[in-house]
Amino acid sequence: MARTEKKKDVGNHPIATGLVNLMWVVLCGLIAFPLLAGLLASFRPGRELVQNGLAINFDFTTMTLDNYKYLFGLAGGNSKVDSAKYFMWYKNSLILTILTVVLTLLVCYFIAYGLTMYKFKLQGLLFFLVIATMCVPFEILMLPLYQEVTTLGIINTRAGVILPGLCAASTIFFFRQYMQSLPKELLDAARIDGCTEYGISVKIMMPITKPAFASMAILCAMGSWNNMLWPMLVFRDTNKFTLQIGLNTLLTPYGNNYDLLIAGSMFGIIPILIIYLIFQKYLIDGMTAGAVKG
């Protein structure tokens, strides 16, 4: 509705505008506080965080780039090794996340399309199963799934990480809910035009499902980037570990490597933020009025 021109909209009230924006400032300030504290902490020696907690002070004299120098291997000593490891985890996470997002979205889109746009016998049962898979704690599937992946020979591979979660029930469900609110008349119109069932799903529906794709891409990327339990069980090779696994190894019962942990965690937000910025464009696009009316 932001795109439509409304002459007597409340948007013209300066007081309402002021209040709403004030609310955003306060809310986002609160949300940003821990992040800001973390960011500031990343410019201080790790032990200072340990001793002084999050005390926010902009004492620039104690701020240093050491943690980031360490992160990028510029500090000499151990830092070269740690830096190489960090960026290896980083790269692994990126590859895994991109593969997961692309594959999951496509597979789930088509499944949801089949589930929503047709009437067929198994439909009710399958939709129930989609809901059911969302209600099963992964922890009880863990051991059998581990054995299975080992038997299938995809242990220690990206396929082993991605395939079991490919048909993500929550993504299917989201697409389904989204498609439900779309007009079905489009399908019949396309059929009359001689478009095949599969053609419709790609050429007609996919473009107008873009906002759902965008939000699922963002969510799926986030889930994959932060996922640790299953990748950790599948990967056996340090060279394949992801960022989350790696960062967690910095906390041990024999002491924590705070320097690398804080800077590394803060720097680890960046790629996933970029993915967000890319896809949120499509969120804004929304459903084109022309396609609906056409």
Partner 1 sequence: MSKFKKLFYSQKVAPYVFVLPFMLSLIIFWAYPLISGIVMSFQDISFGKRTFVGLSHYTKLMGDKFFAIAVGNSVEYMLLTLLLMIPIPLVLAVLMESRLTKAKGVWKVIMYIPALTSVVISGMLFRMMFSEAAGSQMNQLMTWLGKTPIAWLKTKWTAWIALLLLCMWRWTGVNMLYFLSGLKSIDTSIYESADIDGANAWQKLWYLTLPLIKPTTIYVVTISVYAGLSMFLESFMLWNGNSSPKNIGLTIVGYLYKRGIEKNDLGYACAVGMVLMVIALIINVIQLVATGTFKKEDR
Partner 2 sequence: MKKRWLSILMAAALVAAMPVCAMADEAAEGEPQAVTTVGPEDGTHFEMWSFVDAHNEFYGKMVEKWNEQNPDKPINITFSTYPYSDMHNKLMMSLQAGSGAPDMCDVEIGQFPNYTGDDCPLYALNDALAPYEADVVQSRLDVYSKADGTRIGVPTHVGASVMYWNAEIFEKYGLDYKAVKTWDDYTELGRQLKEASNGEVFLTSVDTGGVDWMWIAMAEYGEDWTGGLDGEVNVQLDSVKKMMTMQQEWLAEGIAMISTDGHIDLEAGFKNVSEGLVASFPKAMWYMSRFTNYMPEMEGKYDITTIPVFEEGQKNSVGIGGTGTVITDQCANPELAAEWLTWAKLSEEGESYIWSVLGFDVCNSALWFDDAFAFDESNQYNTFFRVKPYEVLQELANNDAIGTIYTTSVSPTLNDYMCTTTLNEVFEDGMDVDEALAEAQEYLEMELM
DSSP 167: S
Q: How far is the CB of 238 from partner 2 (least distance, A)?
A: 5
**CA–CA gap between residue 97 and residue 227 (Å, rounded):** 10
The residues near 85 (Cβ < 8 Å, ≥ 6 apart) are 246
Of 171, 160, 156, 164, which Cα lies nearest the Cα of 216?
Answer: 171
Q: How far is CA 290 from CA 16, 70, 209, 287, 293, in A?
A: 32, 53, 14, 9, 5
Does residue 218 bind partner 1 (CB under 8 A)? yes
Q: How far apart are the first and last CA of the chain?
A: 19
Does residue 98 bind partner 1 (CB under 8 A)? no
Tokens representing residue 111 in the block: 């499944």
Q: Which stretch binds partner 1 (CB under 8 A): 57-65, 66-74, 230-238, 248-256?
A: 248-256
Three-class SS state of 216: helix
38 binds, among partner 1, partner 2, none (CB under 5 to 8 A by kind): partner 1
From the list 132, 150, 207, 236, which residue makes contact with partner 1 (rule: CB under 8 A)?
132
From the list 202, 219, 222, 283, which residue makes contact with partner 2 (rule: CB under 8 A)?
202
Judged by CB, which is closer to partner 1: 80, or 282? 282
From the list 35, 63, 74, 84, which residue makes contact with partner 1 (rule: CB under 8 A)?
35
In terms of residues, how long is the chain?
294
2 binds, among partner 2, partner 1, none (CB under 5 to 8 A by kind): partner 1
**Could you list the residues that contact partner 2 (CB under 8 A)?**
46-47, 49-53, 81, 84-85, 88, 92, 95, 99, 102-103, 105-107, 142-143, 146-147, 150, 155, 157-159, 162-163, 202-203, 206-207, 228-229, 232-233, 236-240, 245, 248-249, 251-255
